[in-house]
């Protein structure tokens, strides 16, 4: 039995006031430690995708906040998420990033074995525990399951805390972005495909989350990359067909007016997205054959509706971003106050032309790789922030563009695309979960 801590020590006013966030939120290791036990424990955090583990015994190891976990397919087709820690001496049981464990997990240290749901299966030389009171120890409980797991259209989320908000309450209408990405497959099915780009950032994870709905930086920070791409393209001989790479780069340096008109929608609990009316993904060239497949699968009207939704970046608080029209998902894995591992995933729309996956992979390479010039632009400013926020010359970070103190009264709203409303929404959610304090295990 576990309960929220009634004597929560968190005074969120220390970290957020109006449209300002205190610099300690980004640089203080104590805040980071508290985030791991609150924000990443009480919320529903993305773990992985069902297509990674099709068969019973298939597993993926990952982290939820700072917690090592293993996501595993059960015999009955369900998916469990277990703390990846042997009940005996604490060894990480599943060792590979991805694999099949067979009928059970086996610890490499003393060969304690566990059912796929974490229950103890066998302990070598068990007679040695015959009168030891093993059944009264924690070890007898096996590998611990996380508080709750929910699989939504193959996307696997978990809540570490035993008690808390339901999945449906936490995400609400924001699930429409996942719906749209899945619906873009004529078969209504996605597969993780193409490999994951892993990019180490020496900055706080919230800077990345903040950046996803920041529509006033592309024309500035990415002038060097996307701006140069446009310049080089303009110098190409007339009549040269526009390369896919230019089509992907160019919208980044659209004028402010474009981003203003793009729109931003925020939902309760820190979720929200850019691109309600238009987006940088709206004007890609049609992929031959795709429209006919969609029309056949859904009918013309519904297919138009699905493909007409061109949402840019959707933040699922706390730490993923999904792009429906280009089938990518980014995870901002917090490692320390000043260290974040960014994983960029790509999906195949099952039944759709390969060219869509090819475009998705090119986008990921050009924008999200450690070798990406757009990535270089962004990481430079994050790392400069991480350093300069140690300045005592100013204490607060400003997220006040188009701020209205009354905005908190409207949980879901659509506003001007250059508003920092969604950033404030994220920081408010962050402060809310922080204030709950760690779950107390009774």
Partner 1 sequence: MSLSTHQTLVDVVYHEARCIDEQRWDEWLALYTDDAHYWMPLTHGQTDPLLQGSLMYEDKMLLGIRVERLKGRRTFSQEPISRCHHLLQAPSVEMLDAGLGQARLRTAFHYVETRGDEQQLYAGWASHDLRLQGADWRIVLKRVDLVNCDAAFGNIQLFM
The single residue among 18, 90, 370, 411 that binds partner 1, judged by CB under 8 A, is: 370
What is the C-alpha to C-alpha distance for residues 303 and 22, in angstroms, rounded to an integer? 45
Q: Does 159 participate in binding partner 1 (rule CB under 8 A)?
A: no
105-106 and 98-100 strand pairing: unpaired
What is the C-alpha to C-alpha distance for residues 74 and 55, in angstroms, rounded to an integer? 8
The single residue among 209, 379, 397, 421 that binds partner 1, judged by CB under 8 A, is: 379
Q: How many residues touch partner 1 (CB under 8 A)?
A: 43
Alpha helices in 159-289, H assignment, sequence order? 167-171, 176-183, 205-212, 218-221, 228-234, 244-249, 256-262
Q: Residue 435: is it exposed, middle or buried by C-beta count within 10 angstroms (0-12/13-18/19+)?
A: middle
Residues 242-301 that bind partner 1 (CB under 8 A): 243, 245
Q: Does 200 participate in binding partner 1 (rule CB under 8 A)?
A: yes
Q: Are 168 and 150 in contact (CB under 8 A)?
A: no
The single residue among 354, 394, 408, 411 that binds partner 1, judged by CB under 8 A, is: 354
Q: Does 199 participate in binding partner 1 (rule CB under 8 A)?
A: yes
Q: Does 197 participate in binding partner 1 (rule CB under 8 A)?
A: yes
Residue 166-195 contact track with partner 1, rule CB under 8 A, x = bound = ---------------------------xxx
Q: Does 365 participate in binding partner 1 (rule CB under 8 A)?
A: yes
Q: In the complex with partner 1, which residue's Cβ is closer, 92 or 198? A: 198
For 353, how many CA atoms within 13 A lie in the half-sphere containing its CB? Answer: 12
Q: Does 388 participate in binding partner 1 (rule CB under 8 A)?
A: no
Q: In the complex with partner 1, which residue's Cβ is closer, 231 or 394? A: 231
Q: In the complex with partner 1, which residue's Cβ is closer, 74 or 228? A: 228
For 255, how many CA atoms within 13 A lie in the half-sphere containing its CB? Answer: 1
Q: In the complex with partner 1, which residue's Cβ is closer, 159 or 201? A: 201
What are φ and ψ of residue 305, in 5° steps? -65, -45
Q: Which residues pair with residue 349 across a beta bridge? A: 190
* Residue 148: closest CA among 136, 137, 138, 161: 161
Tell me the closest approach of the beta carbon of residue 266 to partner 1, in angstroms: 30
What is the C-alpha to C-alpha distance for residues 368 and 339, in angstroms, rounded to an integer? 17
Q: Does 330 participate in binding partner 1 (rule CB under 8 A)?
A: no
What is the C-alpha to C-alpha distance for residues 203 and 220, in angstroms, rounded to an integer? 20
Tell me the closest approach of the beta carbon of residue 90 to partner 1, in angstroms: 25
Q: In the complex with partner 1, which residue's Cβ is closer, 200 or 440? A: 200
Residue numbers at the binding site for partner 1 (CB under 8 A): 193-202, 221, 223-225, 227-229, 231-233, 236, 243, 245, 341, 346, 354, 357-358, 361-362, 364-366, 369-371, 373, 375-377, 379-381
């Amino acid at each position: 039995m576990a309960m929220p801590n009634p004597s929560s020590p968190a005074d969120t006013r220390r970290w957020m006031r109006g449209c300002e966030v205190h610099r300690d939120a980004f640089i203080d290791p104590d805040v980071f430690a508290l985030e791991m036990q609150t924000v990443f424990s009480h919320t529903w955090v993305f773990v992985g995708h069902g297509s990674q583990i099709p068969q019973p015994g298939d597993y993926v190891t990952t982290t939820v906040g700072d917690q090592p976990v293993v996501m595993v397919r059960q015999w009955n087709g369900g998916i469990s998420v277990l703390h990846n820690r042997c009940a005996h001496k604490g060894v990480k049981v599943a060792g590979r990033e991805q694999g099949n464990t067979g009928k059970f997990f086996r610890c490499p240290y003393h060969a304690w074995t566990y059912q796929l749901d974490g229950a103890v299966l066998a302990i070598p030389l068990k007679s040695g525990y015959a009168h030891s009171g093993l059944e009264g120890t924690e070890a007898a409980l096996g590998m611990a399951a996380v508080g709750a797991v929910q699989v939504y259209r193959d996307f696997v989320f978990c809540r570490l805390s035993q008690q808390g908000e339901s999945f449906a309450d936490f995400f609400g209408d924001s699930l429409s972005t996942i719906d749209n990405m899945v619906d873009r497959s004529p078969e209504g099915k996605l597969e993780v495909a193409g490999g994951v780009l892993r990019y180490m950032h020496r900055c706080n994870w919230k800077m990345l989350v903040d950046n996803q709905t920041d529509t006033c930086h592309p024309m500035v920070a990415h002038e060097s990359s996307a701006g140069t791409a446009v310049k080089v393209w303009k110098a190409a001989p007339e009549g040269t067909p526009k390369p896919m790479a230019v089509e992907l780069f160019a919208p980044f340096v659209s004028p402010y007016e474009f981003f203003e008109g793009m729109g931003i929608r925020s939902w309760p609990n820190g979720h929200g997205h850019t691109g309600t009316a238009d987006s940088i993904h709206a004007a890609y060239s049609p992929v031959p054959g795709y429209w006919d497949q969609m029309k056949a699968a859904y009918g013309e009207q519904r297919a138009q509706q699905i493909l007409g939704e061109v949402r840019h970046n959707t933040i699922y608080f706390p730490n993923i971003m999904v792009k429906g029209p280009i089938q990518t998902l980014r995870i901002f894995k917090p490692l320390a106050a000043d260290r974040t591992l960014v994983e960029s995933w790509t999906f195949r729309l099952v039944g759709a032309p390969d060219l869509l996956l090819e475009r998705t992979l090119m986008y990921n390479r050009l924008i999200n790789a450690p070798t990406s010039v757009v990535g270089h632009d962004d990481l430079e400013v994050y790392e400069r922030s991480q350093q300069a926020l140690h300045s005592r010359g100013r204490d607060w970070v400003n997220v006040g563009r188009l701020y209205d103190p009354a905005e908190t009264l409207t949980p879901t709203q659509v506003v001007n695309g250059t508003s920092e409303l969604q950033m404030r929404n994220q920081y408010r959610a962050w402060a809310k979960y922080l204030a709950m304090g760690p779950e107390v295990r009774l």
